[in-house]
Structure 1
Amino acid sequence: MPLISMRPMLKEAQAGRYGVAAYNMIDYNSARSIIEGAAELKAPVIVQVSVKTVRHWGYAPIASWVGMLAASVDIPVALHLDHCSDSDVIKRCIDAGWTSVMFDGSALPFEQNLARSLDIYRLTEAAGIGLEAEMGAIGGTEDDKFVAEDKALLADLADCVAFCKEMPRLAVFAPAIGTAHGFYKGEPKIAYDLLRDITARIDIPIALHGGTGLAQEQFDRCIAGGCAKVNISTMHKRCYIDGFADLKVEKPKLGEPLPFIVSQYEAMKRDVMAMVRAFGSAGKAGA
């Protein structure tokens, strides 16, 4: 299928109370594992790309890889730019064929975040693609952005309502509700009451950032509470590295590169399929 915007995909997930896996790709092998793993389970999927990854591989190669892989399967696939505060990068991704982008103005005061998000919203609406925007400060490390645990800040309900009122066609909204990027050092303190209050006032699918390391019960509660997009990045990176390293330990004299690439692919694909099942999106591609 051709690449699609996140908006219809996530509205279906919001209505059906399941989560769409949003995996941060690393390279072609990684993108292939995400799309083919989801296709095997007939699940919609979002391939996300960090700004760092875009700058490493280039706009056209990534769009070509993901577009070609999506065309080879019969499931909805969106190509999404993750956490970006650079308008030029966003514009270049739109021009290259991305079907969704995220403007992250969460480090800005409310009025500045709203103003800059609105500028990008107008761009995405004109281009017919989806936009994700963020409120609050999600802890941990994502790309080159680091928010210390003591600096993480839950989204303010009134600000969330005012923010989304100005952009009613957001593909997805990312309020900080207590999750964090990276591996958790302790038990995540998820503000389920805040999530409930936000979804009671805002009819926009919610993004759950910091999905790596959450327990099934936590996924279930967040998805039931309106989280339609669930981000996984750190675990995918770990699978990428371990898929190579584990084979090296098992066969230290192996000198042929392809088995290592296959081992990486299989490790990443297994994790993608496990998360698709965990989020309840298996079999939902036809929705």
Structure 2
Amino acid sequence: MAQASTIGFRFERSLSRAPARVGSRDTSSARLRAPARRPVPRSLGGEKRGNAVRISASSGASESSPFRMIVLRHSDSCTQDADLRDHDRPLTSWGRTAAAKLCSELVAKGWAEPDLVLCSASTRSRETLGEMVRTHAPLGKAETHFMGSLYAFAAMDGLTADHLRETVAGLVEREGGRDNRVRTVMVIGHNKGWEEAATDFAGQTVKLRVANAALLEFAGEGAGTWAEAFNQNAWRLTGVAKHGLREPEKECETEFGGDGDGPMPMPA
């Protein structure tokens, strides 16, 4: 199996890399591992089929657990290289610390071991997840997909929530009978789409700064699958997890405005 390196962690490719395009389902898929100098998380156990990993009955989720979503915005990023694409902007040193602190907050709240992770393919999103795995290695056990579409849809007005509904339900149900084993899903990506999606799910305004995560729990009745839960759209906001650090002075300024909160036709 071919291997590729990135800052902070290694990937095992299960698909050939394909160019990202709007509407694409999954541009790359991988199982995340902790760095070699740390304990390597155990795999979920199961077999690969296509571009997904079938989760075995040994997964920690149970049918009695509620459906839960973690809508997590990547940590702080910027670059001094004006030629660097927005997609390739790395985390700042403060951003790496903030990602680790956010992960510790998720651990304290009991939300740090999702069964499925969908992560934007952008560098800042991948590095946010990498810092979190280094902080809490069990996070690396989750079935993880790196998706160009999460980057693209986050920049479009009002489309992110529907894309997340379709993508989560499609991945979970692809092989059937897995809803009882995938109860918590973490999605890592960008504003403005992430705030819009969290607000849509929660039915109230949700603000997500960098390295913040909206914690959502299904509060409806009778939903046996993710698709049914999404159809009811009855989600309760249990809180917004934050890194708890003082906001930094910018280490660098770019045409994209540092962490990307300015008005621009690209995800922040």
Higher alpha-carbon Rg? 1
Q: What TM-score results when the alignment is normalised by the length of structure 1? A: 0.31
Q: Identify the structure with the greater helix proportion.
A: 1
